[in-house]
């Protein structure tokens, strides 16, 4: 929930670049117009103007997560750099309140000749952290980046994934008031991206304002409270993520002949916010189906382990061994869609407990909750459990998710003599990481597979 006080205020912000056709034109521009002014002659211009951003105005309040979408070259990165202060505006101004941390371009602020450890200190001080504070949080930074012995190697030897791990670890360790992320997380592996999203979720809960640039429409809808649509430097629309993404897709897939009409339609929608809920989705947009491939059998991948696992303190019970099984009892974490599985864990009770309820939850890689269940049932409980008892808990489910990476939570609520109020006796977030494989003959849009049958038939007159 955001507060009423803006932490970012952008007013008529514009950025214009001078584009020269030839290198010598730059020299001419620095000399000839001055001489022409002295001679009372109209100055010549040896460049063309390119407006990367023109007249953008908006406010973002504390605690909001705002997505920024648009085609390549629409002005997204320019806008973020202006907000960060790494670029000066041509006109207009931008005000920010609080500490700003930004992941814009990979390696920004890093010296490629320095080791990763040396760059931690360098980048941390660029972000405004004193050396003593960096030394205090260094173990957390190194644990989050998890690049091992490479921390002592020159950064120029790092892969893009290692670089973003280190940069993100330093940026979030500062616990900024404003966090700006510009597609940097796209280079990380899935497990690390989930780890980053888990940290972003924690920052959101603490009131951090987040600006998130991504071409992944689903992430914007899942993560953001609002979304801005940019095109050719113009801020076209500021609305809910669902509305903004619908308009973005409509613009993205518009034929060139209808592009001007679609742009005007979006501008009209921006002027009539009350009508935004009635905007029709881009029905003419082609479906972006993943290639259909034949699925393998369900199996277990050793390296597919959650790096974002958070285990809460046990308060009378302990969850152990969360895992997924086939109906035949084989442990798996690479699933074939549409088949049935069991999510299992054991619970050992350390204290006598009452009114017990076990639970599970399925989340996407960005933390979006897509389903869950309780046992015995909603508003039903196990009346009493004795200390020393162990329960084997299982939830049967059908993998209706489309291909992608997902996570299971595990938890149980109840009451004990020590805690007479109803609480989580134990809880594990992102306890199990698993993947759903692509498979043959099924549609693969969005998150959930509704087992839709499709057909098309031609008729002849």
Total Cβ atoms within 10 A of residue 123 = 25
SS (H, E, C) 129-182: CCHHHHHHHHHHHHHHHCCHHHHHCEHHHCCHHHHHHHHHHHHHHCCCCEEEEE
pLDDT digits (tens), the chain, 461 positions: 455 679 999 999 999 998 898 888 888 888 888 888 888 888 888 888 899 999 999 999 999 999 999 988 899 989 998 998 889 999 999 999 988 888 776 566 788 899 999 999 998 888 788 899 999 999 999 998 888 899 999 999 998 888 888 888 888 887 889 998 877 666 667 777 778 888 888 888 888 999 988 877 777 877 888 999 999 999 999 998 888 888 888 888 777 888 888 899 898 888 865 434 433 333 333 333 334 444 568 999 877 888 889 899 999 999 999 999 999 999 999 999 889 999 999 999 999 999 999 999 999 887 888 999 999 988 899 999 999 999 999 999 999 888 888 999 999 999 999 999 999 999 999 999 999 886 655 555 567 766 655 555 445 65
Q: Is the dihedral of CA 158, 204, 85, 56 positive or negative?
A: positive
Q: Assess if residue 383 is contained within a domain.
A: yes
Instruction: Give the end of a domain, one of 215, 236, 257.
Output: 236
Query: Residues 6 or more apart from 23 whose CB is under 8 A from it?
Result: none
Q: Assess if residue 288 is contained within a domain.
A: no
User: What Rg, from alpha-carbon coordinates, does the chain have?
Assistant: 27
Same domain, 322 and 178: no
Instruction: Give the residue among 45, 63, 54 at the shortest CA–CA distance from 12.
Output: 54
Q: How many domains does the chain fold into? A: 2
Q: Assess if residue 300 is contained within a domain.
A: no
Strand (E) positions, 201-339?
209-213, 226-231, 234-239, 310-311, 317-326, 331-332, 334-336
Task: Domain of residue 334: give its range.
Answer: 310-437
Phi/psi at 301 (5° precision): -105, 120
Same domain, 95 and 187: yes
Q: Assess if residue 256 is contained within a domain.
A: no
Same domain, 184 and 320: no
Same domain, 49 and 175: yes
Same domain, 332 and 414: yes
CATH of the domain at 324: 2.70.50.60
Q: Assess if residue 286 is contained within a domain.
A: no
Same domain, 115 and 199: yes
Distance, in Å, from the CA atom of 347 to the CA atom of 393, rounded to the nearest integer, reads: 7
Q: Assess if residue 273 is contained within a domain.
A: no
């Amino acid at each position: 929930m955001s507060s009423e006080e803006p932490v970012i205020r952008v007013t008529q912000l514009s950025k214009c670049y001078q584009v020269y056709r030839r290198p010598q034109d730059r020299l001419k521009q620095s000399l000839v117009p001055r001489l022409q002014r002295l001679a009372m002659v109209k100055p010549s211009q040896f460049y063309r103007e390119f407006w990367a951003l023109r007249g953008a105005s908006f406010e973002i309040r504390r605690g909001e997560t705002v997505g920024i979408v648009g085609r390549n070259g629409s002005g997204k990165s320019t806008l973020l750099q202006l907000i960060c202060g790494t670029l000066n505006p041509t006109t207009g101004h931008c005000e920010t309140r609080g500490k700003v941390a930004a992941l814009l371009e990979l390696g920004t602020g890093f010296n490629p000749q320095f080791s990763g450890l040396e760059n931690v200190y360098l980048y941390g001080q660029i972000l405004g952290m004193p050396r003593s504070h960096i030394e205090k949080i260094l173990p957390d930074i190194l644990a989050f980046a998890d690049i091992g012995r490479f921390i002592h190697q020159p950064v120029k030897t790092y892969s893009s994934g290692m670089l973003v791990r280190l940069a993100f670890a330093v940026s979030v360790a500062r616990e900024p008031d404003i966090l700006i992320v510009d597609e940097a997380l796209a280079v990380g592996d899935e497990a690390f991206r989930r780890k980053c999203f888990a940290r972003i979720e924690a920052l959101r809960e603490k009131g951090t304002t987040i600006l998130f640039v991504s071409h992944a429409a689903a992430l914007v809808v899942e993560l953001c409270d609002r979304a801005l649509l940019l095109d050719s430097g113009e801020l076209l629309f500021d609305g809910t993520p669902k509305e903004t993404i619908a308009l973005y897709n409509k613009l993205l897939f518009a034929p060139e002949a209808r592009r001007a009409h679609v742009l005007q339609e979006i501008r009209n929608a921006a002027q009539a916010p009350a009508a935004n809920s009635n905007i029709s989705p881009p029905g003419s947009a082609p479906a972006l189906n993943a290639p259909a491939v034949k699925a393998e059998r369900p199996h277990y991948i050793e390296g597919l382990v959650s790096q974002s696992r958070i285990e809460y303190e046990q308060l009378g019970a302990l969850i152990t061994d969360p895992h997924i099984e086939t109906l035949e009892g084989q442990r798996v974490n690479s699933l074939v869609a549409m088949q049935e599985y069991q999510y299992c864990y054991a619970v050992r009770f350390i204290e006598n407990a009452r009114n017990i309820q076990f639970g599970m939850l399925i989340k996407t890689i960005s933390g979006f909750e897509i389903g869950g269940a309780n046992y015995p049932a909603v508003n039903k409980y196990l009346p009493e459990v004795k200390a020393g008892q162990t329960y084997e808990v299982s939830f049967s489910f059908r993998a209706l998710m489309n291909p992608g990476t997902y996570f299971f939570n595990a938890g149980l609520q109840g009451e004990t003599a020590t805690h007479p109020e109803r609480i989580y006796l134990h809880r594990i977030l992102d306890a199990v990481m698993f993947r759903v494989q692509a498979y043959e003959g099924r549609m693969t849009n969005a998150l959930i597979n509704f087992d839709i049958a499709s057909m098309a038939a031609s008729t002849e007159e």
